[in-house]
Amino acid sequence: MGKQYKVIKVSENWSIEKLRKKIEDTLNKSSSEGWNLIDISYVANRYIAMITISK
């Protein structure tokens, strides 16, 4: 089987600091499961991040 990709949406309604923590927790969990970070994109004017990972 070829390389697998996954896109994870992380959002937070209250603060950029809470979004940062959620992104960090998501990356740590994914990394422990063997996933590698490809990209993090942010939605302008919203506390939303799209994380692309591969394995």
- Spans of all domains in the chain: 5-54
Pair 49, 7: CB distance under 8 Å: no
The model carries a pTM of: 0.85
pLDDT at 43: 85
- Section 7-29 average pLDDT: 93
Q: What is the mean pLDDT of residues 12-36?
A: 94
Average pLDDT in the chain = 92
The reported pLDDT for the residue numbered 27 is 96
Residues linked to residue 54 through DSSP beta bridges, in sequence order: 5, 36
* Sequential DSSP letters for 11-44: E-SS-HHHHHHHHHHHHHHHHHTT-EEEEEEE-T
Q: What is the CA radius of gyration of the chain?
A: 12
